[in-house]
Amino acid sequence: MLEGERRLAAVMFTDLVGYTTLTQTNESRAMNLLRRHNQLLRPIFSRYNGREVKNMGDAFLVEFDSALAATKCSIEMQRVLRRHNERVREKLLVRIGIHVGDVIHQKNDVFGDAVNIASRIEPLAEGGDICISEQVYAQVRNKISFPLTKLESRDLRSIAFPIDVYKVELPWAHHGKRPEKGIATPLVTVINKKRVGERAIDRQTVGKIILKLTMKDRLVIVKLTNDAEIPRTLARFSEVVDYGRGETLHIVSAIETVSMVIDSTNLRKLIEMVPKKNILRVYSNLAEIVISFPEETIFAPGIVATISGELAKNKVNILEYFGSSPQSIIIVDQKDALKSYHLLQELTKD
């Protein structure tokens, strides 16, 4: 592959569920599970001409020449893991996300929209599940023997345009009941959760479903380069965070970087634990606003756009936006904290 070459490819992200938590309680056991996880999955990639781009501790990034090859590989992976889990007490549950699009090759790595979107789709899967984008769905829907279920639409973080996501319905996920054979086009169903009204949430409705607003200042964002040691380091760091005193810790891991939000009082502890070469930059004097929603509406279309738009038109810069049921967390400059808080309060009065 030529350096800097742009081409169409299918990108797969995987993630071993519960690994980070296990490293905090029993690192030796976690490493044994991870070793077995890698031994089981790596041989499968090559059977479908998959190229392992990188291994990020408990996660893989794999590139394929086609969406069909990536999807068939993911099904085989889950089948192998299922057989393994039937024989052992400690289960290996893996989430898989796949997208197809342009990628750019640089220094034995890949970048581009396909990589970014696949990384946002993978967390939508539960342990043992496979989630695919609408672009993958269009290429495989008549070529695999499993039903595809369309998930409820939601905004993917840092992705500007909406993307439909489908789940591959594996037969062992349905208590052993297999789908009927001979279906040319897999069954497509839509999972609907309770919504507020029948349309996307806008400024007139978002304020009515905000249950609570809270604010906290004196926070710091630390950007780190990612490597195999960082997850273990951050697991150790999380042990020094005093959650009983309400201290803050948010971690968002990407392929190349990790973004952390912590209390400024814990910055020195973090810097002492993380190698200096991994620290990219530190943003000080920040605040967070936590918005609590009813759980059934946290991912309703329009919420993120409405809130970010309201702050943007009032010249408030959002540094980070975390969506996690049943809350959204907005990180802003400390000087804009009260302004942001009052603007969101005003939404609730409309």
- Do 172 and 214 belong to one domain? no
Q: How many domains does the chain have?
A: 2
Q: Determine the Cα–Cα distance for residues 336 and 315; give it in Å rounded to an integer.
A: 9
Determine, yes or no, domain membership for 195.
no
What does DSSP say about strands 148-150 and 188-190: parallel, antiparallel, or unpaired? parallel
With a CB cutoff of 8 Å and minimum separation 6, the contacts of 245 are none
CATH of the domain at 131: 3.30.70.1230
Where does a domain end: 143, 161, 190?
Answer: 190
Contacts 24+ apart (CB under 8 A), 31-40: 33/90, 33/92, 34/58, 36/84, 36/92, 37/92, 37/94, 40/80, 40/81, 40/84, 40/92
Determine, yes or no, domain membership for 1.
no
Contact 58, 16 (CB under 8 A): yes
DSSP code for 223: E
Instruction: Residue 254: give the domain boundaries.
Output: 203-347
pLDDT in tens, 332-347: 999 999 999 998 888 8
67: three-class secondary structure by DSSP: helix
- Do 105 and 220 belong to one domain? no
- Give the residue with greater pLDDT, 151 vs 24: 151
- Do 235 and 307 belong to one domain? yes
Nearest to 104 by CA among 1, 27, 174, 19: 1
Please report, rounded to a whole number, the percentage of residues in the chain having pLDDT higher than 70: 82
With a CB cutoff of 8 Å and minimum separation 6, the contacts of 143 are 68
Cβ-count burial 19-42 (b if 16+ within 10 Å, e if not): bbebbeeeeeebeebbeebeebbe
As a whole number, mean pLDDT of residues 145-151 equals 85
- Do 77 and 160 belong to one domain? yes
Determine, yes or no, domain membership for 127.
yes
Determine, yes or no, domain membership for 99.
yes
pLDDT in tens, 222-280: 999 988 788 888 888 888 888 767 788 888 776 688 888 999 999 999 999 999 999 99
First to last CA, the chain: 56
Q: Determine the Cα–Cα distance for residues 107 and 231; give it in Å rounded to an integer.
A: 23
Determine, yes or no, domain membership for 42.
yes
pLDDT in tens, 120-134: 888 888 889 999 998
- Do 156 and 290 belong to one domain? no
Where does a domain end: 190, 213, 246?
Answer: 190
Determine, yes or no, domain membership for 196.
no
With a CB cutoff of 8 Å and minimum separation 6, the contacts of 87 are none
Determine, yes or no, domain membership for 197.
no
Map 287-321 to HEC letters: EEEEEECCHHHCCCCCHHHHHHHHHHCCCCCEEEE
Tokens linked to 46: 């090559």
Average confidence score pLDDT of the chain: 80
Which of 34-38, 85-89, 150-154, 196-200 is least confident?
196-200
Tokens linked to 234: 């951050």
φ, ψ of residue 264 to 5 degrees: the values are -60, -25
Asked if residue 35 has pLDDT above 60, the reply is: yes
Which of 70-79, 159-168, 185-194 is least confident?
185-194
